[in-house]
Amino acid sequence: MSLARVAASDENTAGAVRAGERVFLSAGNAVEPDGTVRGLGDAASQTHAALDRLERALDAAGGSLGNVTKLTTCVVDRGHRTAVYAAIAERLKGVHPVSTGLVVAGLPRPELIVQIDAEAAIPSAPARRVRPYTFDSWHGQGFAWQGAMVVATDDELFVRGQTGSRLDHSGTAGLGRTCDTYRR
């Protein structure tokens, strides 16, 4: 298998590393090459900046955002989720990646609202989406989302992180659980 460092972010960091058909991407955020932050205070603008960064790295690796197979989206405040996921849905229409969303205490710079970690595959045959889904309002949270439970290529398998969603999409398992439930 060949390994190629492509789309250097700086002298110490690769924007992407391609190993065969799989592409590992440096997390995308709104920090510009000159060190400024694009879209200060604007979650949608920062999300587009992060996706632009991922798109440039994928282009250098021979792919596009259409090759994204896995996303882990980190936001610093739950209140930004609607704007963030609307921007992602706009840019990844029809892609259906496996995904996990996290609300985190902070990101590398205090001005950052969102950071997106992604993986991609650039296979010779189109990736297969197993159990794709589309929601107008993801679990009643007010934002549209599309994804898949599994994305498979001939060489790779990407599986959606489970955070309580039932595998049949019928709701969330374990509502009402508390930390005390797990201390027993």
Residues 56-71 have pLDDT tens digits of 999 999 999 999 999 9
Per-residue model confidence (pLDDT) at position 160: 80
Tell me the CATH number at 36.
3.30.1330.40
Domain ranges, residue 122: 3-183
Give the pLDDT of residue 74: 97
More confident residue, 181 or 83: 83
Q: What is the arithmetic mean of pLDDT over 8-15?
A: 61
Q: Which of 36-40, 158-162, 179-183 shows the lowest per-residue confidence on average (mean pLDDT)?
A: 179-183
Share above pLDDT 90 across residues of the chain, in percent, rounded to a whole number: 61
pLDDT digits (tens, 9 = 90+) for 62-116: 999 999 999 999 999 999 999 999 999 999 999 999 999 999 999 999 999 999 9
Mean pLDDT, all residues of the chain? 85
* Tokens 């309580």 found at: 164
Which of 76, 70, 57, 68 lies closest to 114 in space, CA to CA? 76
Domain count of the fold of the chain: 1
